[in-house]
Amino acid sequence: MPDVLYRSERRLTVVRLTFLGIGSNSFSRLNTAAFVVEVSDGSWLLVDCGPDTPRQVVSAGIAHIDVQFIVITHRHLDHVLGLPYLWFGRNLDALALRRRSPDAFIKPLVVICESDVWQTMRALFNRCHPDIPSLAYGLHHIDIATLVHAPMDVGNLQIRTIPVNHTVPAFGIVARRNGAVVLAYSSDTLPSEDFIAAAAGAGTVIHEAMVPSSEGTFSSSAHHSTATQAGTVIGNIHPHQGFLIHLRPQFWPARVELEREASKAAGASVRFPAEGESIAI
């Protein structure tokens, strides 16, 4: 779609969301689940940062320096391991910008995640890069648990988090714009009543659908959703558009069957987006 749909006098009229990865724990074609949302002109919110996410951000045409907010929904490696590497990439961008324009404003980065994830990732970065004692940009942390009861303004969105049902503490996200719920993302979870309630009225819902219902024994023990469970949640929320994410790569050849399974449960058409696909929310 042409950019003009998304911009008006440097104010966003429609929010753009680009899917980066739509898979889970893969080392080949489908990478980890992550997406970006343009929250003000030229500034992006990144949701989750798996090992390949820093590359996918650049492939989506976004400079690391323009990612101004990151939410890490939980500590699993497929959602967090790219974080220190993105900090590194952002530092290169900031240094290059400073060389080109010494007076240029360098956007700070706010990371919303569990406090011990923050401490662990900072320690990893410092351990790996004692040659970078301080970054060339401001780096700030906000505890994701505080957004459960106190929504936060992120550009032109207001973000709230919802504890969901995974094997480690994990948080779904609900984003409002001008009071309306524009987006609800489940993160990794079994179906969550709290998520369904918080997402009421959402225009767009993204829910994980890792496996078909025939693999339900595995997915309940790992606290993931099947396509049927994802479809049922989306059907309960009844959004304008529903997307599936976090597909287990071995089921990529069967994705159409998973989409059919989820759509039947939802009572509406839902699908896996393509990696790199942009949608309006």
Q: Which residues bind Zn ion (CB under 5 A)?
A: 24, 76, 78, 188
Question: Where are the alpha helices (H) located in the chain, listed in sequence order?
Answer: 53-59, 77-80, 83-100, 115-128, 193-198, 216-221, 227-237, 255-266
Q: What is the closest distance, in whole angstroms, from the C-beta atom of residue 41 to Zn ion in the complex? A: 31
Residue 145 amino acid letter: A
Closer residue to Zn ion, CB minimum distance, 76 or 177: 76
The minimum distance between CB 222 and Zn ion, in angstroms, equals 8
Count Cβ neighbours within 10 Å for each residue of 167-203 and write b for 16 or more, e otherwise: eeebbbbbbbbeeebbbbbbbbbbbbeebbebbeebb
Residue 93 or 114: which CB sits closer to Zn ion?
Answer: 114
Q: Are strands 16-21 and 34-40 parallel, antiparallel or unpaired?
A: antiparallel
Rounded to a whole number of angstroms, the minimum distance from the CB of residue 77 to Zn ion is: 8
CA atoms of 167 and 169, how far apart (whole Å): 7
Count each helix (H run) and each strand (E run) in the chain, helices first: 8, 16
Q: Between 76 and 255, whose beta carbon lies closer to Zn ion?
A: 76
Identify the burial level of 6 via C-beta atoms within 10 angstroms of its C-beta, where 0-12 means exposed, 13-18 middle and 19 or more buried: middle
3-state secondary structure of 175: strand
Q: How far is the CB of 18 from Zn ion (least distance, A)?
A: 19
> Cβ of residue 169: shortest distance to Zn ion, in angstroms?
10
Which helix (H) or strand (E) segment holds residue 42: the answer is none
User: At its nearest, how many Å lie between Zn ion and the CB of residue 56?
Assistant: 15
Residue 74 or residue 90: which is nearer to Zn ion going by CB? 74
Residue 31 near residue 275, CB atoms below 8 Å: yes
Give the nearer residue to Zn ion in terms of CB position, either 51 or 239.
51
Select 114 or 188, whichever has its Cβ closest to Zn ion. 188
